[in-house]
Structure 1
Amino acid sequence: MAIGAGVGVANVYYVQPVIPLVRAAFGITPEAASLVPAVSQAGYAAGMLLLAPLGDLLDRKRLILTKSALLVVALLTAATAPALSVLLAASVALGLLGSVGQDFIPLAAQHAPQERRGHTIGLVTTGLLCGILLSRTIGGIVGDLLGWRAMFGIAAAMVTLLALAVWRLLPHQSATATGTYVGLLRSLATLTCRHAMLRKALATQALLATTLGAFWSTLALMLAEPPFQLGAGVAGAFGLAGAAGAFGAPLFGGFADRSGPLTAIRVGCQLVAGAFAIMLMLPHSFAALIAGAILFDLGVMAGLVSHQTIVTAIDPDARSRLNGLLMTAAMIGMSIGAVVGGWAWSRHGWTGVCLTGTIAGLLALLHSFLPPIIRPVFKESAS
């Protein structure tokens, strides 16, 4: 399941390091080329909100197989796109269907025993996050050696192999929700309003995710400046440092099983704030930058795995919807972090970015100690 999560979500990010190759192939402006990853990200956000909840309404195995088949079609369309418009349409589909990676998390939560649920979710989340972080490195290498079209073709073959493995190995699972698709989407608002712990988890994880957006959106700019003056290849290689942090997710999942998820979340918040504080105090140290990237990614992952343990236990019949809401909140946080990080960089340089990350980590830590806000429920008295 961990491999499936990584292979599924990686399709959203392969294109990011090969944008210059796409630009050269179609003879387009940088602004037009940047639309390709932009629409892919938008499609992924929409997929998390609109398609991930289907896991509660349908057999998850059948849903994964259907998404995988459509994903292969979208990848082959991208590989053979004759024009930018076709590639953009395929990129939207890649984003939407890339949400298949998230379908493995509620599936793992359902089949894991209660005492090991956090550890199991951590393993699958590690696969998901490694897919996100390493896809940029893999995409860049394959793009340089074989071209961007070959990259999409190889990805299609990998998804095909994934679908065969799912077909042979994963069990079928009956639906946990009834009703219509529209009713399923309406229930997202109902779940958010009903469960105070869910709202707290969404807010805390969004704060942690802002640090991801701020760091990764400005890292290449910082590395290009003195004293480092390094190229985009080194910035892409930092994905390996992030992956090293992601491998700690199962450890925090087990820690959450033993000590409680709230404790793991607070440790994660402290790691995030501490990592950015180290980079703030040692702005010209490459070793501090690598250590900071590993530590803050580890902290964000600790929060994510622990929050997934919390939200998937709120309502066993709504695990896909609850996980989709959590990941949507994280993506919103990443988007806000990218905007705020860009503003901080333009005004205050790397110091501003590190301050942003430190403050976000401390705010997340503070919010984790606040009690969930309970919405009052008014009932009519019996006459």
Structure 2
Amino acid sequence: MSPALTRWITLLLATTSAMAVATVYFAQPLLESMAAELGVAQQQIGWVVGATQVGYALGLLLIVPLGDMIDRKRLLLGQLLVSALALVSVGMAPNWAMLLLALLITGLMAVMVQVMVAYAASLAAPGQQGQAVGAVTSGVVLGILSARLVSGGLADLAGWRSVYLVAAGGLMLLALVLWRCLPTAQPAKQRSGYRALIVAQFSLYRHDRLLRQRGVFGVLIFAAFSVLWSAMVMPLSAAPLALSHTEIGLFGLAGVAGTMAAARAGCLADQGRGERTTGLALALLTLSWLPTALVGHSLMAFGVGVLMLDFAVQAVHVTNQSLLLAGRGAMASRLIGAYMCCYSLGGGLGAVLAGWVFAHWGWAAVCGLGMAFSTVALGYWLWLQRERAAEAALQCSGQNL
């Protein structure tokens, strides 16, 4: 029998998720420094984030499904060790090509986060899966936001390369803690092999309507999220603001408050309020670009926009996962992997487009791009609500007949 999801295990998974996902986001306050040292043009900076997201997407498709086949503890330990080696390679990269390759491997291993989310959902009692997903995902988001502050501070003290070398040591220490404390949990036996499992994951997109719908939301919200966090370093570090790495990283704190509030979204999904939560959060996401566009006039307004965006994105993200995993713990890894692939692709798309748009048209155009992604997501939600209402009316008229 699988061990229960205790508070200690939840805390351990959330902490591990925070540290693991931070490796993907360390680069965002450092993009200018990386480009300057390696001689890269401004319009190519977005490929730093894009390479990591490509690796992340590959890991979601090829590694996360293994969580439904083998002991997740062994899988997590292996990923932590390989990730530590990849981070050392990033910190010692001599050129642009080697940097991108090492970051791709870093993203490939960072999918341990989804293994932990699926692990928590499979251990949680029925009716509490949304709460478990929300708790672990809160760790993920705190890792995303704190990564910017930590990387900015370290970069100001010892250069951008030190960020990755210190992180590698942290992951090695974390692997030791997991080895000693995390319980072994064998998944249900699969009749098919790894290849069939991968094929089955791709088939989910065709057969699972809810996955397709939530996948679209994942692409759009994380594209908007990545547009902001990939491009904001450029206006903040340039004159007249000329903020340091540490000061730019401090904006991550503005998102922490939004993140903590968004953790309740899983509980609302458990109570049957997932659709309403999604709609309200998408409306807030669209509005968040208005204060964000004022970065040149008011840093306070910009901070409010960051808080609004982070809250909205994470509320939809937690709700998406909660709805997908409800009552389907046996295939949790495959569902999370398939969904997060959409999420990762959106992140890569947003990062690459944001760098290119800023280089050609400036910050106002970047905000317009982010608002466009957000508006399309809100419009898609409204269209789904109208479709559901029409289906319900048709079903009701059929019963009356």
TM-score, normalising length from structure 1? 0.84
Instruction: Look up the match of 1:378.
Output: none
- Does residue 254 in structure 1 map to residue 270 in structure 2? no
Provide Cα deviations, 1:1-24, integer angstroms capped at 9, x if missing partner.
111111112112223433555556
After superposing the two structures, state which structure 1 stretch, 197-206 or 173-182, moved more: 173-182
- Does residue 55 in structure 1 map to residue 67 in structure 2? yes
After superposing the two structures, state which structure 1 stretch, 342-351 or 154-163, moved more: 342-351
**How much has 1:319 moved relative to structure 2?**
0.8
**What amino acid is the match of 1:193?**
R
Instruction: Look up the match of 2:379.
Output: 363
**What amino acid is the match of 2:262?**
A
Say which SS state the counterpart of residue 279 (structure 2) adopts.
Answer: helix
Instruction: Look up the match of 1:162.
Output: 174
Instruction: Look up the match of 2:399.
Output: none
**What amino acid is the match of 1:294?**
L
> Percent same amino acid among aligned pairs?
29
- Does residue 78 in structure 1 map to residue 90 in structure 2? yes
Provide Cα deviations, 1:169-193, integer angstroms capped at 9, x if missing partner.
2221223334222211111222121
- Match among 96, 100, 106 for residue 118 of structure 2: 106
After superposing the two structures, state which structure 1 stretch, 361-370 or 149-158, moved more: 361-370
Instruction: Give distance in 2, aligned partners of 1:282 and 1:150.
Output: 29
- Does residue 313 in structure 1 map to residue 326 in structure 2? yes
Instruction: Give distance in 2, aligned partners of 1:170 and 1:290.
Output: 38
**What amino acid is the match of 2:51?**
V
Instruction: Give distance in 2, aligned partners of 1:21 and 1:272.
Output: 30
Q: 4+ residue runs of structure 1 moved beyond 6 angstroms?
A: 31-34, 280-283
**What amino acid is the match of 1:170?**
L
Instruction: Look up the match of 2:207.
Output: 194
Gaps of 5+ in 2: 1-12, 392-401
Instruction: Give distance in 2, aligned partners of 1:280 and 1:84.
Output: 31
Q: Mark the CA change 1:358 to 1:37 in structure 2 (over 3 Å): closer, same or farther.
A: closer
Provide Cα deviations, 1:303-352, integer angstroms capped at 9, x if missing partner.
11111011123632221111111111122233444466564982864663
**How much has 1:370 moved relative to structure 2?**
4.7
Provide Cα deviations, 1:15-41, integer angstroms capped at 9, x if missing partner.
34335555566x544478775544333
**How much has 1:195 moved relative to structure 2?**
1.5
Say which SS state the counterpart of residue 114 (structure 1) adopts.
Answer: coil
Say which SS state the counterpart of residue 175 (structure 1) adopts.
Answer: coil
Q: Mark the CA change 1:254 to 1:179 in structure 2 (over 3 Å): closer, same or farther.
A: same
In the TM superposition, what are the counterparts of 1:1-383 in structure 2 within 5 Å?
1-19=13-31, 21-22=33-34, 28-30=39-41, 36-81=48-93, 86-176=98-188, 177-223=190-236, 229-231=241-243, 233=245, 234-277=247-290, 284-313=297-326, 315-338=328-351, 343=357, 346=361, 349=365, 352-353=368-369, 355-356=371-372, 359-371=375-387
After superposing the two structures, state which structure 1 stretch, 84-93 or 140-149, moved more: 84-93
Instruction: Give distance in 1, aligned partners of 2:286 and 2:118.
Output: 29
Contact map agreement 2:54 2:348 (CA 8 A) in 1:
no
Say which SS state the counterpart of residue 95 (structure 1) adopts.
Answer: helix
**What amino acid is the match of 2:333?**
S
TM-score, normalising length from structure 2? 0.81
Q: Mark the CA change 1:223 to 1:126 in structure 2 (over 3 Å): closer, same or farther.
A: same
After superposing the two structures, state which structure 1 stretch, 103-112 or 345-354, moved more: 345-354
Instruction: Look up the match of 2:7.
Output: none
Provide Cα deviations, 1:341-367, integer angstroms capped at 9, x if missing partner.
564982864663464255235324314
Provide Cα deviations, 1:251-288, integer angstroms capped at 9, x if missing partner.
22222223432232222222213333565799944333
**How much has 1:45 moved relative to structure 2?**
2.1
Instruction: Look up the match of 2:3.
Output: none
